[in-house]
Amino acid sequence: MINKNVLITGGSGGIGSALCRAFAKEGCNVAVHCNSKTDYAETLANELREKYKINAFAVQADVADRESVNVMFDKISNNFKSLDVLVNNAGIAQQKLFTDLTQEDWKRMISVNLDGVFNCTQEAVKRYMLPAHSGVILNISSMWGQVGASCEVHYSAAKAGVIGFTKALAKELGLSGIRVNCIAPGVVMTDMMKGFDEQTIAELKEETPLNELGSPSDIADATVFLCCDRAKFITGQILGVNGGFVI
């Protein structure tokens, strides 16, 4: 994958930073997106440049805001002449009873986790991938988008939307040489798990057939494979990386 240009949204998060490092290790140039963790994104980009000798830089945007996304892509255009891979990883999570959800809770979840995928994908496709007649889009959903999670109705709905988005767009863009796939992670130990106590985490581990929880590198390794040329005949697929939690 040497010299491929990659944008990773949510690149300053736990899974996101693992994604950035995994693509850089493969020789890809990486745009590290963040929303609020600008200092960390800059530090990570510096690390990637120094360690892997690739072009890496940080970009900031609220993926839920189309104008903010447009400005981000303008900056990317100043650094990349092409964009070969888009990884839609940016997202938020929240645990809350359905009856306690506010309209603001619902709107924010959908706007970041689903509208954000739409905003970034449409810009990438229109600006880069359709003119080049090539490209790869990889969306990060969740196993809860496949089966639903109690007390995470809005999160599950948004992530289910990402799965439907992936399948439909793969059909639409196939003739344009653009592949679209999705990874549905299981329980992965990142900052999003900080709200769970040790007993709950232990129970989730017990429910996982492999009897272990995932790491960001598990998601990153699968993502790199789906975005590389070895996966050139794979599109419209949802890959569960969940230790067997959902089968």
Instruction: Report the catalytic residues.
Output: 155
Please check whether residue 28 is in contact with residue 3, taking contact to mean a CB–CB distance below 8 angstroms. yes
Q: What angle is formed at CA 187 by the lines to CA 61 and CA 218, rounded to 5 degrees?
A: 75
* Strands in the chain per DSSP E: 5-8, 29-34, 56-60, 85-88, 135-140, 178-185, 238-241
Please check whether residue 233 is in contact with residue 207, taking contact to mean a CB–CB distance below 8 angstroms. no
- 3-class DSSP assignment, residue 244: coil
Dist CA 24 CA 208 (whole Å): 31
CA distances from 194 to 19, 112, 156, 208 (A): 20, 20, 19, 19
